[in-house]
Amino acid sequence: MDVDRPLQRRLTRRARRTVRVTMSQGSSAGSPGEAICVVPGDCLCAADDKHVAGKGTIERSGYIYSCLVGRVYTQQQQDKTELVEVRTGQEQNIVPTAGSVVTAKVTYVNPRFLRCEILCIGETVLKHKFRGMLKKEDVRATERDKVKMYECFRPGDVILAKVVSLGDALSYVLSTAENELGVALAHSEAGALMVPLSWAEMRCPLTQARELRKVAKIPPEDVAFRLARSAAADPAAG
């Protein structure tokens, strides 16, 4: 199924550039048409009761924005909403190597380490996820003995980390012991996307509550381009 015409018109007005490409829905090819190519930061449509942010997008301030350079796809869901996605067409099954900077989503945290799913290597979205582990002593370069994991990371956080080595049980050992590495995207307890305040704090825009994190020092636009897409591996993460 092609992108519906009302959404297509909104995309055409909002996107910075369009090209003639082939439309498709999901993984099945569709008929040729006027598809929309977008870049990170392009406003796609309103995040309303008819449109839901999917892979390669992020929801902010009532609108759905692209996080990737790619094509826009929509998919009808059982509740009659349209899932809006951006896909790069560059998904590859590559393997993390020592020194690679990866994007990962935290799945489990305890006082000694965290576990995560590696979703991107550099700027390449992976077809198949890899498991990662970040130990307490590899969180930061200084005062390692004072690190408290729950004050640095929470399940659901999207992080930037560097691969140290392949550990046990095919789980990659990661490190965030650089200023540019750490939490890039995190949701507050109220469910809002938080705003970084410092290297150690983020704030919820809804409640103004502050939460502790090991914050990655990277520009907001870089976060959108390289990281928000990994959160979109789970559309509910918005």
Going by C-alpha positions, the residue among 196, 189, 186 that lies closest to residue 230 is 186
Rounded CA gap, 20 and 5, in Å? 15
Q: What sign results for the dihedral spanned by CA atoms 24, 235, 16, 7?
A: positive
pLDDT, tens only, 126-162: 877 889 999 999 999 888 888 999 999 999 999 999 9
Question: How does strand 101-109 pair with strand 171-175?
Answer: unpaired
Question: How does strand 171-175 pair with strand 158-166?
Answer: antiparallel
**Confidence bin at 71 (pLDDT 50/70/90):** confident
Distances (CA, A) of 164 to 46, 98, 117: 41, 5, 15
Rounded CA gap, 125 and 233, in Å? 10
Cβ neighbours for 78, distance < 8 A, ≥ 6 positions apart = none
Spatial contact of 229 and 50, defined as CB atoms under 8 Å apart: no
Spatial contact of 98 and 163, defined as CB atoms under 8 Å apart: yes
Spatial contact of 14 and 44, defined as CB atoms under 8 Å apart: yes
Other Cβ atoms closer than 10 A to 79: 7
What pLDDT does residue 67 have?
Answer: 75
**Rounded mean pLDDT, 109-125:** 90
Rounded CA gap, 238 and 228, in Å? 8
Spatial contact of 30 and 211, defined as CB atoms under 8 Å apart: no
**Confidence bin at 3 (pLDDT 50/70/90):** very low
Q: Is the pLDDT of residue 10 over 60?
A: no
| Residue in the structure block whose two tokens are 């992020």 | 58
- Structure tokens, 192: 């809002």
The amino acid sitting at 147 is V
**Confidence bin at 220 (pLDDT 50/70/90):** low
**Confidence bin at 30 (pLDDT 50/70/90):** very low
**Confidence bin at 120 (pLDDT 50/70/90):** confident
Is 0.85 topped by the overall pTM? no
| Residue in the structure block whose two tokens are 């992080």 | 159
Rounded CA gap, 212 and 39, in Å? 31
Share above pLDDT 90 across residues of the chain, in percent, rounded to a whole number: 37
Least confident of 21-30, 81-90, 225-234: 21-30
What pLDDT does residue 232 have?
Answer: 44
